[in-house]
Structure 1
């Protein structure tokens, strides 16, 4: 199992402090849709408490949870890359408290402070790599279970 990367603890203290100057405390009630796949990605969150499900619409009536995020996890990375659209949806699985960051403001800070920008991009890349590894493990587990239960 891969270790989850926590954005705020992974950043060096000086960069974390600069980033936190842009943080706004927000909350989402249980079952609140935070964002929808295909929507404009212009912000991200660091979850302080609660849980968020990332989901993917697979049919007009069915969504599949692809990941569950909790305290310390970064929610949303699409604000960092064109076309700045969410790849998944997100819904609060429980009451959620989070720090919210405005993407364009963070990007402007990264231009002003290239060391912060490099640290942030490296940390986001580690988060994405960790989540990809976790997803790969889940897919392999499902594949193995299906092979054991009979022909594909």
Structure 2
């Protein structure tokens, strides 16, 4: 097994998609499973637990990709390897894909009641790979 992703229990927001990128790395996205923790930008709550994140790993051995934003970080006490995270703060993504011209990664996320999003997941746009759920969605902050 390359990744041990949380499969549940979760009432909603499992999300999930696997994709080999143009860089030949494996990308996997999983929703926040209605959890409230540091990956959902609740600073003093649950430690990273592999929910609400886009992973980027070597598809051969599951090791973190060389330029992931958290590569220098150590594993947290729950065993979630944040070095494998490409982005976090993801609410409920059911799709990721790469633009065929720019090769930028795009993520589709369902909104709470409306305001679904399509986001370009570009490390140059958001510092340290944080996509800001639960602090920001659609037109509200």
> So what's the TM-score if we normalise by structure 1?
0.24
Q: TM-score, structure 2 length as denominator?
A: 0.25
- Please say which structure displays the higher CA radius of gyration: 1
Structure with higher RCO (Cα < 8 A, 6+ apart): 1
